[in-house]
Protein backbone atom coordinates (compact mmCIF):
# COMPACT_ATOMS: atom_id res chain seq x y z
CA UNK A 1 0.00 0.00 0.00
CA UNK A 2 1.10 3.54 -0.64
CA UNK A 3 -0.28 6.56 1.15
CA UNK A 4 -0.92 9.83 -0.64
CA UNK A 5 0.28 12.90 1.20
CA UNK A 6 -0.77 16.38 0.13
CA UNK A 7 1.68 18.95 1.41
CA UNK A 8 1.16 22.67 1.92
CA UNK A 9 4.07 25.10 1.76
CA UNK A 10 2.93 28.07 3.82
CA UNK A 11 5.16 30.55 1.99
CA UNK A 12 4.62 32.29 -1.35
CA UNK A 13 8.28 33.32 -1.53
CA UNK A 14 10.15 32.31 -4.69
CA UNK A 15 13.16 31.58 -2.46
CA UNK A 16 11.24 29.88 0.35
CA UNK A 17 13.33 27.98 2.87
CA UNK A 18 10.21 26.01 3.76
CA UNK A 19 9.98 24.79 0.17
CA UNK A 20 13.59 23.59 0.53
CA UNK A 21 12.61 21.87 3.79
CA UNK A 22 9.68 20.20 2.01
CA UNK A 23 12.08 18.86 -0.63
CA UNK A 24 14.33 17.50 2.08
CA UNK A 25 11.40 15.81 3.85
CA UNK A 26 10.23 14.16 0.64
CA UNK A 27 13.73 12.80 0.00
CA UNK A 28 13.95 11.39 3.52
CA UNK A 29 10.41 10.02 3.77
CA UNK A 30 9.53 6.30 3.83
CA UNK A 31 8.98 4.88 0.34
CA UNK A 32 5.31 4.14 0.86
CA UNK A 33 4.49 7.86 1.07
CA UNK A 34 3.66 9.58 -2.21
CA UNK A 35 3.73 13.39 -2.20
CA UNK A 36 1.77 16.05 -4.10
CA UNK A 37 1.91 19.75 -3.35
CA UNK A 38 -1.42 21.45 -2.71
CA UNK A 39 -0.95 24.99 -3.99
CA UNK A 40 -2.31 27.97 -2.05
CA UNK A 41 -0.95 30.93 -4.00
CA UNK A 42 -3.74 31.27 -6.57
CA UNK A 43 -6.67 31.47 -4.15
CA UNK A 44 -8.70 34.67 -3.83
CA UNK A 45 -9.32 35.93 -0.32
CA UNK A 46 -12.09 33.89 1.25
CA UNK A 47 -15.49 35.44 1.83
CA UNK A 48 -18.75 33.75 2.88
CA UNK A 49 -20.22 35.38 -0.22
CA UNK A 50 -18.57 32.54 -2.18
CA UNK A 51 -20.19 29.74 -0.17
CA UNK A 52 -23.02 29.20 -2.66
CA UNK A 53 -20.68 29.25 -5.64
CA UNK A 54 -17.02 28.44 -5.00
CA UNK A 55 -14.52 29.72 -7.60
CA UNK A 56 -12.62 27.00 -9.53
CA UNK A 57 -9.39 27.58 -7.55
CA UNK A 58 -11.18 26.84 -4.29
CA UNK A 59 -12.99 23.81 -5.68
CA UNK A 60 -9.62 22.53 -6.92
CA UNK A 61 -8.22 22.97 -3.41
CA UNK A 62 -11.02 20.92 -1.87
CA UNK A 63 -10.71 18.27 -4.59
CA UNK A 64 -6.96 18.05 -3.97
CA UNK A 65 -7.49 17.45 -0.26
CA UNK A 66 -10.19 14.86 -0.95
CA UNK A 67 -7.74 13.02 -3.25
CA UNK A 68 -5.10 12.46 -0.55
CA UNK A 69 -4.93 10.25 2.54
CA UNK A 70 -3.14 12.79 4.72
CA UNK A 71 -1.76 16.32 4.79
CA UNK A 72 1.54 17.84 5.86
CA UNK A 73 2.03 21.55 6.59
CA UNK A 74 5.51 22.97 6.02
CA UNK A 75 5.26 26.60 6.98
CA UNK A 76 7.11 29.69 8.10
CA UNK A 77 6.16 31.67 11.16
CA UNK A 78 4.93 35.17 10.37
CA UNK A 79 4.70 37.55 13.33
CA UNK A 80 4.43 34.58 15.71
CA UNK A 81 1.54 33.04 13.76
CA UNK A 82 1.06 31.53 10.31
CA UNK A 83 1.19 33.41 7.00
CA UNK A 84 -2.12 34.88 5.89
CA UNK A 85 -1.96 32.94 2.63
CA UNK A 86 -1.97 29.65 4.53
CA UNK A 87 -4.76 30.72 6.87
CA UNK A 88 -6.76 31.81 3.83
CA UNK A 89 -6.32 28.36 2.24
CA UNK A 90 -7.38 26.63 5.45
CA UNK A 91 -10.42 28.89 5.71
CA UNK A 92 -11.42 28.01 2.14
CA UNK A 93 -10.98 24.28 2.72
CA UNK A 94 -13.02 24.41 5.93
CA UNK A 95 -16.06 25.78 4.11
CA UNK A 96 -18.90 25.75 3.14
CA UNK A 97 -20.21 24.89 6.59
CA UNK A 98 -20.66 21.13 6.91
CA UNK A 99 -18.15 20.38 4.16
CA UNK A 100 -14.91 20.85 6.07
CA UNK A 101 -12.17 19.17 4.01
CA UNK A 102 -9.96 18.55 7.05
CA UNK A 103 -12.50 16.58 9.09
CA UNK A 104 -10.61 13.56 10.54
CA UNK A 105 -7.67 13.95 8.14
CA UNK A 106 -4.27 12.75 9.41
CA UNK A 107 -2.03 15.81 9.60
CA UNK A 108 1.55 16.81 10.38
CA UNK A 109 3.07 20.20 11.12
CA UNK A 110 6.67 21.34 10.62
CA UNK A 111 8.44 24.54 9.69
CA UNK A 112 11.73 26.31 9.23
CA UNK A 113 12.84 29.78 10.28
CA UNK A 114 15.98 31.82 9.91
CA UNK A 115 15.67 32.41 13.66
CA UNK A 116 16.44 29.93 16.43
CA UNK A 117 12.83 29.53 17.63
CA UNK A 118 12.29 27.62 14.41
CA UNK A 119 8.56 28.42 13.93
CA UNK A 120 7.63 27.01 17.37
CA UNK A 121 5.12 29.76 18.09
CA UNK A 122 3.67 29.72 14.57
CA UNK A 123 3.17 25.96 14.80
CA UNK A 124 1.18 26.34 18.03
CA UNK A 125 -1.03 28.80 16.22
CA UNK A 126 -1.46 26.38 13.30
CA UNK A 127 -2.23 23.51 15.68
CA UNK A 128 -5.02 25.54 17.27
CA UNK A 129 -6.57 26.11 13.85
CA UNK A 130 -6.20 22.46 12.81
CA UNK A 131 -7.71 21.32 16.11
CA UNK A 132 -10.83 23.32 15.42
CA UNK A 133 -10.86 21.86 11.89
CA UNK A 134 -10.87 18.39 13.52
CA UNK A 135 -7.68 17.22 11.80
CA UNK A 136 -5.93 14.25 13.45
CA UNK A 137 -2.58 15.83 14.21
CA UNK A 138 0.64 14.06 15.01
CA UNK A 139 1.48 15.75 18.32
CA UNK A 140 4.93 14.20 18.77
CA UNK A 141 7.63 14.35 17.65
CA UNK A 142 7.68 18.11 17.10
CA UNK A 143 10.14 19.68 14.68
CA UNK A 144 11.27 23.30 14.91
CA UNK A 145 13.87 23.82 12.22
CA UNK A 146 16.47 26.57 12.43
CA UNK A 147 17.46 26.92 8.79
CA UNK A 148 21.01 27.59 7.67
CA UNK A 149 22.15 27.38 4.04
CA UNK A 150 25.16 25.28 5.05
CA UNK A 151 22.87 22.48 6.26
CA UNK A 152 20.09 22.71 3.66
CA UNK A 153 21.03 22.65 -0.01
CA UNK A 154 18.54 24.11 -2.49
CA UNK A 155 17.76 20.66 -3.96
CA UNK A 156 16.76 19.32 -0.54
CA UNK A 157 20.03 17.64 0.31
CA UNK A 158 20.76 17.85 4.05
CA UNK A 159 24.49 18.03 4.72
CA UNK A 160 24.49 17.58 8.50
CA UNK A 161 24.10 13.97 9.66
CA UNK A 162 22.20 14.71 12.87
CA UNK A 163 19.70 16.99 11.12
CA UNK A 164 19.20 14.49 8.30
CA UNK A 165 18.53 11.65 10.74
CA UNK A 166 16.20 13.82 12.81
CA UNK A 167 14.13 14.66 9.72
CA UNK A 168 14.17 11.03 8.55
CA UNK A 169 12.87 9.97 11.96
CA UNK A 170 10.22 12.69 11.89
CA UNK A 171 8.92 11.41 8.54
CA UNK A 172 9.02 7.82 9.75
CA UNK A 173 6.90 8.79 12.77
CA UNK A 174 4.60 10.80 10.52
CA UNK A 175 4.09 7.77 8.29
CA UNK A 176 3.22 5.61 11.31
CA UNK A 177 0.81 8.27 12.55
CA UNK A 178 -0.96 8.35 9.18
CA UNK A 179 -1.25 4.56 9.07
CA UNK A 180 -2.54 4.44 12.65
CA UNK A 181 -5.26 7.01 11.98
CA UNK A 182 -6.34 5.37 8.72
CA UNK A 183 -6.31 1.91 10.28
CA UNK A 184 -8.68 2.91 13.05
CA UNK A 185 -11.19 4.28 10.56
CA UNK A 186 -10.42 4.96 6.88
CA UNK A 187 -11.48 8.38 5.65
C1 LIG B 1 9.11 36.77 9.21
N2 LIG B 1 10.07 35.98 9.81
C3 LIG B 1 9.83 35.46 11.07
N4 LIG B 1 10.65 34.51 11.63
C5 LIG B 1 10.34 33.97 12.83
O6 LIG B 1 11.08 33.10 13.30
N7 LIG B 1 9.27 34.40 13.54
C8 LIG B 1 8.42 35.34 13.07
O9 LIG B 1 7.45 35.67 13.73
C10 LIG B 1 8.70 35.91 11.79
N11 LIG B 1 7.88 36.86 11.27
C12 LIG B 1 8.00 37.22 9.95
C13 LIG B 1 7.03 38.00 9.36
C14 LIG B 1 7.11 38.31 8.02
C15 LIG B 1 6.00 39.10 7.38
C16 LIG B 1 8.21 37.84 7.25
C17 LIG B 1 8.30 38.16 5.78
C18 LIG B 1 9.19 37.09 7.85
C19 LIG B 1 11.29 35.58 9.10
C20 LIG B 1 11.11 34.25 8.41
O21 LIG B 1 11.54 33.21 9.27
C22 LIG B 1 11.94 34.21 7.13
O23 LIG B 1 11.53 35.25 6.27
C24 LIG B 1 11.81 32.88 6.41
O25 LIG B 1 12.69 32.86 5.30
C26 LIG B 1 10.39 32.64 5.95
O27 LIG B 1 10.24 31.35 5.39
P28 LIG B 1 10.16 31.16 3.80
O29 LIG B 1 9.16 32.13 3.26
O30 LIG B 1 11.56 31.45 3.26
O31 LIG B 1 9.78 29.73 3.63
pLDDT confidence of residue 184: 84
Q: What one-character-per-residue DSSP string does 81-124 give?
A: B--HHHHHHHHHHT-STT--TTTT-EEEEEEEESSTTTTHHHHH
Atom of ligand 1 nearest to the CA of 80: 9
- Ligand 1 centroid – CA 111 distance (Å): 10
Q: What is the mean pLDDT of residues 90-101?
A: 97
What does the DSSP 8-state code read for residue 179? H
35-68 pLDDT, tens per residue? 999 999 999 999 999 999 999 999 999 999 999 9
Q: What is the mean pLDDT of residues 105-110?
A: 98
Q: If you take atom 26 of ligand 1, which residue's CA is the nearest one?
A: 76
What does the DSSP 8-state code read for residue 43? P
State how far the Cα of 85 lies from the Cα of 101, in Å rounded to an integer: 17
pLDDT band at 97 (very low <50, low <70, confident <90, very high): very high
Q: If you take atom 7 of ligand 1, which residue's CA is the nearest one?
A: 77
- Ligand 1 centroid – CA 16 distance (Å): 10
pLDDT confidence of residue 185: 81
- Ligand 1 centroid – CA 9 distance (Å): 13
143-181 pLDDT, tens per residue? 999 999 999 999 999 999 999 999 999 999 999 999 999
Q: What is the mean pLDDT of residues 82-108?
A: 98
Q: If you take atom 28 of ligand 1, which residue's CA is the nearest one?
A: 16
Q: Does the reported pTM lie above 0.95?
A: yes
Paired with 110 in beta bridges are 74
Whether residue 12 is predicted with pLDDT greater than 80 in this model: the reply is yes
Query: Smallest Cα–Cα separation from 73: which of 63, 61, 85, 86?
Result: 86
Whether residue 186 is predicted with pLDDT greater than 80 in this model: the reply is no
Whether residue 120 is predicted with pLDDT greater than 90 in this model: the reply is yes
Task: Tell me the Cα Rg of the chain.
Answer: 16
Whether residue 19 is predicted with pLDDT greater than 80 in this model: the reply is yes
- Ligand 1 centroid – CA 77 distance (Å): 5
- Ligand 1 centroid – CA 113 distance (Å): 6
pLDDT band at 112 (very low <50, low <70, confident <90, very high): very high
Amino acid sequence: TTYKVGYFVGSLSSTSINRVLAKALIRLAPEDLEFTEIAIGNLPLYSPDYDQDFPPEATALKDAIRAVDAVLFVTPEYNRSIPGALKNAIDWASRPWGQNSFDHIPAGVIGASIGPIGTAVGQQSLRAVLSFCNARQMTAPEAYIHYTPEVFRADGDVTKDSTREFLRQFMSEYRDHVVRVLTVLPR
